[in-house]
């Protein structure tokens, strides 16, 4: 009888026991979508890996590094990271490898790279463990825009920045504010930008400016 490597049974046990809850909700003017936070995911996966004698060895590669000059002259770093992750069973050394890709935007390379790394692992684990987010599934069912639809604003396509990247920045802001209360986030955003700016939630430049302030205290 052929002995099955222990890593397969261990991963099966993780898949059976781990459950992710969409513990975050974006404000209405940010799409109001539900999302699974990286903190929620990594905490549960780590516990299950320890319980089932598994370790994770990452190997990440930067696929893209781009400097985007915004309208106000400030620079935004956009990075794309591909992560290849090896799961090893500590009992017999058997292993499997899986991968994922993540995007990161910030006002410094270090922060952008860290964000991209976080989302590469998050996306890889979601595929490995057969979990997904309703907001992403809903996007897949949306009809393509009509030919007469307005063109995408330049700042949402400049330098290859996608709508998904803008939504990622919104989620990062909520994490920095340490709140999931959408009304509180909107109130804080209105307080930061003032009454004259009512479109801040749609502007990548404004969102990056707020995130920079929350990260470093600079304006």
pLDDT score recorded for residue 11:
94
Q: What confidence score (pLDDT) does residue 200 get?
A: 82
> What are the per-10-residue average pLDDT scores of the chain (219 residues)?
87 88 64 69 89 96 90 87 96 95 91 92 87 51 48 44 68 81 82 80 82 72
Question: What confidence score (pLDDT) does residue 141 get?
Answer: 42
pLDDT at 152: 46
Specify the pLDDT at position 158. 39
pTM over 0.85, yes/no: no
Say if residues 19 and 106 touch (Cβ distance below 8 Å).
no
pLDDT at 29: 58
């Amino acid at each position: 009888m052929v002995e099955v490597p222990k890593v397969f049974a261990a991963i099966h046990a993780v898949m059976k026991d781990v459950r992710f809850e969409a513990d975050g909700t974006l404000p209405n003017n940010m799409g109001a979508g539900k999302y699974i936070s990286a903190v929620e995911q990594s905490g549960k996966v780590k516990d299950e890996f320890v319980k089932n004698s598994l370790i994770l060895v990452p190997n990440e590669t930067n696929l893209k590094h781009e400097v985007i000059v915004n309208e106000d002259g400030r620079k935004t770093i956009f990075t794309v990271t591909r992560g290849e992750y090896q799961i090893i069973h500590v009992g017999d050394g058997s292993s499997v490898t899986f991968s994922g890709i993540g995007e990161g935007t910030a006002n410094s390379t270090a922060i952008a790279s860290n964000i991209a790394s976080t989302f590469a692992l998050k996306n890889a684990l979601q595929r490995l463990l057969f979990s997904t987010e309703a907001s992403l599934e809903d996007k897949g069912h949306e009809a393509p825009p009509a030919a007469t639809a307005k063109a995408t604003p330049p700042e949402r396509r400049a330098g290859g920045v996608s709508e998904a990247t803008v939504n990622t920045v919104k989620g990062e802001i909520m994490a920095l504010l340490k709140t999931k209360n959408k009304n509180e986030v909107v109130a804080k955003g209105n307080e930061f930008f003032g009454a004259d700016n009512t479109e801040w939630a749609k502007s990548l430049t404004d969102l990056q400016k707020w995130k920079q302030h929350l990260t470093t205290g600079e304006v």
